[in-house]
Amino acid sequence: MLTKRSGNKQAFLLLILLPSIMLLLPVLIGELIRNGISGQGGLLLALSLMVQAGYGCFLSKSLEQGDMSQVYPMMRGLSAFLLPFIGIVFLHETLTAWGWIGLLCIAAGFFMTSGIASRMNRQAVPFRVVLYTAGVGLCTMSYVLIDKLNLQYYTPLMLLEVSNIGFALGLIPFVRMGELRKLFRGKDVLGIMALGSVLSPGSYLLFLLAMNLSSLAYIAPLREFGTVFGAFAGIYLLNERKEAVRLVSAGVIFAGILLIGIWGR
């Protein structure tokens, strides 16, 4: 929501990452010096970096061109649907019948929000925004799956730093120095940036720690509990259009996440 409220999405996202990048850089360098990089571990690290760059690019474009109350449930719902499915197919994890019902709810909510099923609907999300949002969901699925494997080789703090750097690399081509200076002149910008600097990397660090303790099929959907709150924030705090389909679809996605997170094991 903080990013959506900012004038330049790419510049804002880049600035809130800089403090954690500078803070964790010694951790990254120290761990690389102590442990080095193995062949498979190095490949996974490079893949994580590239996918995070794509994630940064697609996320900023989605928030720039789409309404948060639509794109946020879509991007979160898609990754919440794909990650348990990938965990089941490739990591031999399991879901109960309730978990599978939850996956179907997430898929239904995605189609309701996007308007794919009724392209003649004037309230449907523009196709370009759907593509950007799908890119966010696919990148989220990819980097979470890659980092699940990366945890065999590296610490969560090091992986957080790699993800921060990759995300920043995806934003840099779209940011000019003049735009960064303009952001600093905004009202209350330093307070908002400080809050974003804690919430953005902090949330993924907690997720990395949780992935060490539980299966991907179970823990990944729990990360997306903010889906329905993102939809409500877009409508009531950002004054986006109030449409029943946005609220209902966000609720359906949230219900699916709840089913997987609580009764999916």
Q: Are 144 and 220 in contact (CB under 8 A)?
A: yes
Rounded to a whole number, what is the distance in angstroms from the first to the last CA of the chain? 31
Q: Where are the domains of the chain?
A: 2-263
Is the pLDDT at 230 greater than 70? The verdict is: no
Task: State which of 9-18, 75-84, 132-141, 217-226 shows the largest mean pLDDT.
Answer: 132-141
Three-class SS state of 114:
helix
- Mean residue pLDDT of the chain comes to 77
Residues 150-170: what's their mean pLDDT? 92
For residue 259, the model assigns a pLDDT of 84
Three-state DSSP at 139 gives helix
pLDDT at 81 over 70: yes
**pLDDT over 90 for what percent of the chain?**
16
Residue 200 confidence (pLDDT): 77
Sign, CA torsion 37/39/43/48: negative
